[in-house]
Amino acid sequence: MVKLKLGVLGSTRGTDLQGIIDSIEQGKLDAEVSVVISNKKDAFILERARNHYLETFVIDYTKHGFQVCSASCGRGSYHLAKMVKLKLGVLGSTRGTDLQGIIDSIEQGKLDAEVSVVISNKKDAFILERARNHYLETFVIDYTKHASRESAEEEIIKKLDEKQVDLVLLIGWMRILTPVIISRFRGRFWNVHPSLLPKYAGGMNLDVHKAVLDNHETETGCTVHEVIEEVDAGKIIMQKSCAVVAGDTPETLKDKVQALEVECFLAAIQEVIDGKRTLG
């Protein structure tokens, strides 16, 4: 017969823990406290535990992504919390400039995430070469081999589920998505648009920047937003802006806004990692 092993999670004084410890030490409770975990390094519950030579552990949520999974042991099942990197899935049809910024940030240790798979509907899209240059898994979806867009999206969903991605990013994805895939990843599906939405929703690439100049805007920028059934109409996650100055052209605005897109993606993803923004 083994003693019942207790794990304790606490953020405050831990008065109830003291009662349990006293009962164990007085021989009234045939159990042991194996570890005391807190999310606050100065919580008094940790001092109580250390006063009785119990193992303690401090978890800093700001340094991690968080995932809950199921586990089991001989005496039953329980929920186990484990720290994992945020897993990103990327869909792209073009050059993938924003992806490069994300990869660089991960490799420099600035972003605690991983790109689990990069998916494209164009086998020669440069975004795939970017991914392969960094030994990332790639996948090409050929829409012409499917009877419908929904059928093709089911294959994309299968790959994203296989890689257990937490967040899907659209980076230059040039196809309209159906409710099949949108509903599967609702709240975990982000796009970046090269304007300060809701302005110029539905516009693409240089056409947006030309419209900004034609309308004599003094400010432009980008928007990271959730993907929903209506194009460019999802909840705004984050925006970054820059000034429109004399001499700007659609091409110069594209360069300025594209630099902001990378910053915007990174800042929004970091909020998820830090626990400041929830998905789903």
> In 3-state terms, what secondary structure has residue 169?
strand
DSSP state of 52: T
> In 3-state terms, what secondary structure has residue 81?
strand
230, with CB counted inside 10 A (0-12, 13-18, 19+), is: exposed
* 8 A C-beta contact, residue 241 and residue 196: yes
Sign of the Cα torsion 133, 222, 209, 186 reads positive
| Distance between CA atoms of residues 212 and 256, nearest Å | 13
Residues shown for the chain: 280
Query: Cis peptide leading into 250, omega within 30 of 0?
Result: no
> In 3-state terms, what secondary structure has residue 36?
strand
Active-site residues, by number, are 193
Nearest-5° Cα angle at 126, 94 to 121: 55
| Distance between CA atoms of residues 104 and 191, nearest Å | 19
